[in-house]
Amino acid sequence: MKYRRLGNTGLIVSEVGLGTMQFGKGMNVGNLDQKATTEMIRFALDQGINFIDTADVYSQGESEKQVGEAIKDVREDLVLATKVRLPMGENFNHSGAHRVNIMRECEASLRRLQTDYIDLYQIHGWDSNTPLEETLRTLDDLVRQGKVRYIGLSNYLAWQAATALGLQEREHLEKFVTAQMYYSLVGRGLEHEWMSFAEYHKLGLLIWSPLAGGFLTGKYSREHPPAENTRFSDAGQFVPFDIDTGFEIVEALDRVGKRHNASPARTALAWVLSRQAVSSVLIAARSREHLEDNIRAVDLQLTQMDLRQLDGVSDPGVPYPGWMVLQLDQAEDPRPKVLHPERFENGGPWDDLRFKKTELEH
């Protein structure tokens, strides 16, 4: 196993962390019982994983309960993360990032996890019905009370995260140190603003669904679509992407993987691990065999040719204002070439489009 810092903290986490949505029977994803959960977690720990991520909403608390039971003898050796914000009952106040719900759900998570503190407590998503200051002040209180060590966000837009960090700075509140976000070869939207934002603010990215709900495992193709009783068919296309492009990416993963005697899944995970600002990539499996293969991604070093091939087939393009930022900062400004020559080893991240147009005309 290899390890990285959790964001800009001194805490060390494994490059791959164990996701837990498959534990419990309330979400139709995995449906693993306590025995299978304990076996899977113990196997992960034996492989060097020290980071486990769960959420109160996973199977309506069942995942947390099973995780808590499985780790109760080794709790102090682990970095344990959970989340709050999504509905935990029919009562409308049992949802959201307001003070009452956060306080209640934190206590409930502590009980289910059989621990007296949470290493990383994350807001599961933006709450447009609660003042942001209320959310941030409550999280700060939990840290001051010793119930939470660090705080993180998940599924925020970049402007929402920037606003939160600005308020935390201004009000001297505990700052977010991580952002748990979706990112994969079929879902590279995080690159448009979030990657550079996270790097600038030293937020550690925790990547969820790096295999796009199992699509990038290599099990599926145009000739062999998802069959019944697979994770992808059970959960549906949980993350949206163009299926035809997805098949092209799977074919590229197969070609690159064969050069390293690696599965498409392991290759896809290695690609995510190669990206900037990533603290840990969350993996989840229903079998020990698949989990072991995923873990081995930390030892797969993709070449520049591999990366160019995978980048090319999955390139989503650069939306405005991203292309204008690159045009002005990387193509027209000569200073980056002097200050950061490594960025331009392969021609640079952006070409001056005006000169391209002139070349075409002549």
pLDDT at 353: 65
Is the pLDDT confidence value at 330 over 90? Answer: no
- Domain(s) of CATH 3.20.20.100: residues in the chain: 3-314
pLDDT at 362: 41
Is the pLDDT confidence value at 131 over 90? Answer: yes
Give the DSSP per-residue string, 36-99. Answer: HHHHHHHHHHHTT--EEE--TTGGGGHHHHHHHHHHTTTGGGSEEEEEE-S--SSSTTSSSSSH
Beta strands in 213-325, from DSSP E residues, in sequence order = 278-283
Catalytic sites, residue numbers? 58
> 113: which residues sit within 8 A by CB, 6+ positions away?
54, 64, 67, 68, 71, 80, 82
- Terminal C-alpha separation, the chain: 54
Tens digits of residue pLDDT in 227-260: 666 555 554 567 889 999 999 999 999 999 999 9
pLDDT at 233: 55
Q: At what angle do helices 304-314 and 243-259 cross, to 10 degrees?
A: 170
Asked if 113 and 167 count as a contact pair (C-beta separation under 8 A), the reply is no
With vertex at residue 176, the alpha carbon angle to CA 268 and CA 121, rounded to the nearest 5 degrees, is 80
Tens digits of residue pLDDT in 50-95: 999 999 999 999 999 999 999 999 999 999 999 999 999 999 999 9
In this prediction, residues 121-138 reach a mean pLDDT of: 98
Which long-range contacts does 91-98 make (Cβ < 8 Å, 24+ apart)? Answer: 96/127, 96/129, 96/130, 97/123, 97/127, 97/130, 97/134, 97/135, 98/127, 98/129, 98/130, 98/134, 98/135, 98/138
pLDDT at 322: 87
pLDDT at 358: 44
Q: For 240, phi and psi rounded to 5 degrees?
A: -75, 135
In this prediction, residues 329-349 reach a mean pLDDT of: 85
* CA–CA separation, 328 and 359 (whole Å): 20
In this prediction, residues 310-316 reach a mean pLDDT of: 95
Tens digits of residue pLDDT in 3-44: 999 999 999 999 999 999 999 988 877 889 999 999 999 999
Indicate the DSSP class of residue 320: T
CATH code 3.20.20.100 for 3-314: yes
Determine if the pTM surpasses 0.85: yes
Residue 291: strand, helix, or coil? helix
